[in-house]
Structure 1
Amino acid sequence: MQKIQLSEADNGKKIQLKMDDHVVIQLPSSPGTGYNWEVQPNSHFSVSHEYRMQAEVGIGAGGMDIFELDPRTQVQNGSIKFLYRRAWEDASKAGKQFSINYQIQ
């Protein structure tokens, strides 16, 4: 089993995974502005999400959205996309996007 850590700097990266690998993606977030990262539907992974505030900072400060992905099926070529947007706005108005391409063996 391999644990793969990704950040915003890995946007667009292609990774090779095995079925027992574990992927952790950390993306900076500031929900006080109304923006949150959301994962687009993807059946290749089971996904869990949590938000962590920065330690010892004031109210309204940002933190990290942390997504943990575990492969569910083998696939030759896939991609997963995350949008940084306000829930009440159309997805086409996303502030930022993050995606990775992958192969799961």
Structure 2
Amino acid sequence: MQEYQLSESDNGKKLQLKMDDHIVIKLPSSPGTGYNWEVQPNNHFMVSHQYTTQSDAGVGAGGMDVFELNPQTQVQNGSIRFIYRRAWEDASKAGKTFSISYQIQ
């Protein structure tokens, strides 16, 4: 089993995964502005999500959206995409996007 720790700087990265690998993606977020990271539908992974803040952060300070991905099926070529947007706005108005492509063996 290998664990991958990814951040915004890994946007566009290509991964060669095995079924027992684990991926942690940490993306900076500021939900006080109405923006949140959302994962686009994908049936290749079991995805969990949580939002964390620094313990010394002030009111309204940003934090991290943390996504954990565990492969669920083998696939030759896949991709997963995250968008940073306000829930009430159209997805085409996403502030930022993050994606990785992968092969799962």
Q: Same fold (TM over 0.5)?
A: yes
Q: Which residue of 1 aligns with 2:38?
A: 38
- Runs of 4+ aligned structure 1 residues displaced above 3 Å come to none
2:58 alignment partner, SS class: coil
Q: What's the CA shift string for 1:39-79, capped at 9, x where partnerless? A: 00000000000000122011000000000000000000000
Structure 1 unaligned regions, length at least 5: none
1:12 alignment partner, SS class: coil
RMSD: 0.4
Q: Distance in 2 between matches of 1:16 and 1:68?
A: 17
- How far has the Cα of 1:83 moved from its partner? 0.2
Q: Which residue of 2 aligns with 1:78?
A: 78
Q: What's the CA shift string for 1:69-103, capped at 9, x where partnerless? A: 00000000000000000000000000000000000
Question: What's the TM-score, normalizing by structure 2?
Answer: 0.99
Q: Distance in 1 between matches of 2:98 and 2:55?
A: 25
Equivalent pairs: percent with the same residue?
79
The 5-angstrom pairing of residues 14-33 of structure 1 reads 14-33=14-33
Question: What's the TM-score, normalizing by structure 1?
Answer: 0.99
Q: How many residues end up aligned between the 2 structures?
A: 105
- How far has the Cα of 1:12 moved from its partner? 0.3
Q: Distance in 1 between matches of 2:54 and 2:28?
A: 10
2:49 alignment partner, SS class: strand
